[in-house]
Amino acid sequence: MIGDPTVAGVLLAAGDSDRFGERDKLLATLDGGPLVRHAARTLADAEVGPVAAVVDPGSTGVRDALAGLDVAVVGNPDAAAGQAASVRHGVAWARDRADAVVFALGDMPRVDPETVDRLVAAYRDGRGSALAAGYEGERGNPVLFDGRHFDALAAVEGDTGGRAVFERADDAAVVETGDPGVRLDVDRPGDLDGLRE
């Protein structure tokens, strides 16, 4: 391959927020903006491109929250089927645009863009074809997959996303980032308290 491989960014933002209560957790406010916008900015500000967000077509609020960012919006009409459906739609979008894809989660607003850059640098340095961001030895998100895993990712089912694909990769690795945000997600309203600056 001539030159650096292209790495796309895909934000998984079509979740159903079951544990959060009545409102869509991705639209909960943190530091003056919705969670999903913070998460999308992580990819938009990182050295990846192109970037897309996979959203539930019925959630106009999430689409509106992403307005003005250099992020394509990909509808996932199967959002209720679990995270794997969003992974499949993200892979379908990325397949003809990139050699690898970084998957980030819409409910993880504290990931630093430099963390994504570290994953991409590790991939380009040949550290593995499946790389997860880590903090203090614990695996977190986002996760990068080389194109060799696209077919397996396109076949995932259920609510576990690409975890099984990562675990089956013979050269999977955790990249230490020094970023606690890779382990901080929002499941319940109380989780926001620990994220406020």
What's the rounded mean pLDDT across residues 93-109?
Answer: 96
What's the rounded mean pLDDT across residues 173-192?
Answer: 83
Domain that holds residue 139: 7-195
Q: Which pTM value belongs to this model?
A: 0.92
**Domain-located, residue 72:** yes
- For residue 97, how many other CB atoms are within 10 A of its CB? 13
Q: Percentage of the chain with pLDDT > 90?
A: 71
Q: Provide the number of structural domains found in the chain.
A: 1
Output the pLDDT for position 23.
64
Output the pLDDT for position 19.
47
**Domain-located, residue 2:** no
Report the CATH number that the domain containing residue 100 is assigned in CATH: 3.90.550.10
Output the pLDDT for position 159.
76
Kindly give the residue spans of alpha helices, DSSP state H, lying in the chain: 35-45, 60-65, 83-94, 113-124, 150-154, 163-168
The pairing of beta strand 7-13 with beta strand 100-105: parallel
The residue type of 156 is V
pLDDT surpassing 80 at residue 174: yes
